[in-house]
């Protein structure tokens, strides 16, 4: 009876050891995946932010070299709105992919 108890205890210890190793591997894989998603979110955020800055730069350039005057409301719709949309889209990418 004592040998059965010892064998069971040894098997339980082996099982716990395997579970710890598996848990460590799963944590490492999850960490690697989360890091990739964070980097992707950062790249997409920077790309959208760059597009937003480009929209604003074109808008400002158009104000200083006004070949064909446009009403201010039309300028806001043509340049300001896309800039805000690009910035918001970039923030959404970063928020979702960073897991915050």
Which three-class secondary structure string do you get for 53-93?
A: HHHHHHHHHHHHCCCCCCCHHHHHHHHHHHHHHHHHHHHHH
Burial 15-52 (b: 16+ CB within 10 A, else e): eeeeeeeeeeeeeeeeeeeeeeeeeebeebbeebbebb
Which residue in the block uniquely carries the two structure tokens 């806001």? Answer: 76
Q: What is the pLDDT of residues 26-83, one digit of tens each?
A: 777 766 666 777 788 888 889 999 999 999 898 888 878 876 777 878 888 888 899 9
Asked if 62 and 80 touch (Cβ cutoff 8 Å), the reply is no
pLDDT-based confidence at residue 86 (cuts at 50, 70, 90) = very high
Asked if 55 and 83 touch (Cβ cutoff 8 Å), the reply is yes
**At residue 1, does pLDDT exceed 60?**
no
Closest alpha carbon to 78 in 96, 56, 97? 56
């Amino acid at each position: 009876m004592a040998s059965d108890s010892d064998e069971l205890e040894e098997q339980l210890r082996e099982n716990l050891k395997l579970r710890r190793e598996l848990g460590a591997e799963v944590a490492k894989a999850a960490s690697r995946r989360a890091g990739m998603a964070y980097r992707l979110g950062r790249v997409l955020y920077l790309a959208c932010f760059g597009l937003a800055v480009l929209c604003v730069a074109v808008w400002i350039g158009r104000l200083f070299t006004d070949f064909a005057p446009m009403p201010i409301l039309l300028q806001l719709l043509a340049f300001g709105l896309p800039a805000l949309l690009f910035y918001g889209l970039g923030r959404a990418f970063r928020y979702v992919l960073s897991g915050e």
